[in-house]
Structure 1
């Protein structure tokens, strides 16, 4: 479909450290307005069965470390969507 329409398909895998996942889940658990049932036990099971999408071409796939600032994340996503290039110079 993308080829037919002449558009690029982009996949972005958002990641963060296990420590950050625990921190975010704890924050969510304390939020009375949160509607998520996310818990560390569920995440740990999902992580064990996760299959990295290594079949995707590097020009259509990027891994995004969500522990970076929103400004840097936006910069990375814009660069990737416009050029197909990740930023290899910045440590993630």
Structure 2
């Protein structure tokens, strides 16, 4: 991941909607930002795949998926792991 990609993600957590006009860049790939949870979860879509990013106290949990996995499956795994880390003060 590039520094500017991480900076864009953290800025969107601080100012929800920041990435909507330009898209989310991750590993050089561009994702269209779709409905997330302001300040907690960012979701992006790129063709049949996408990305889910959950913010914890100390980390960003990032899940990138392609078919046959669905966005819902990725969301579930990433958000549960993020919730576990938050509950563990991580």
TM-score by length of 1: 0.30
Larger relative contact order, structure 1 or 2 (CA cutoff 8 Å, min sep 6)? 1
Higher strand share: 2
TM-score by length of 2: 0.30
Higher helix share: 1
Which of the pair has more CA radius of gyration?
Answer: 1
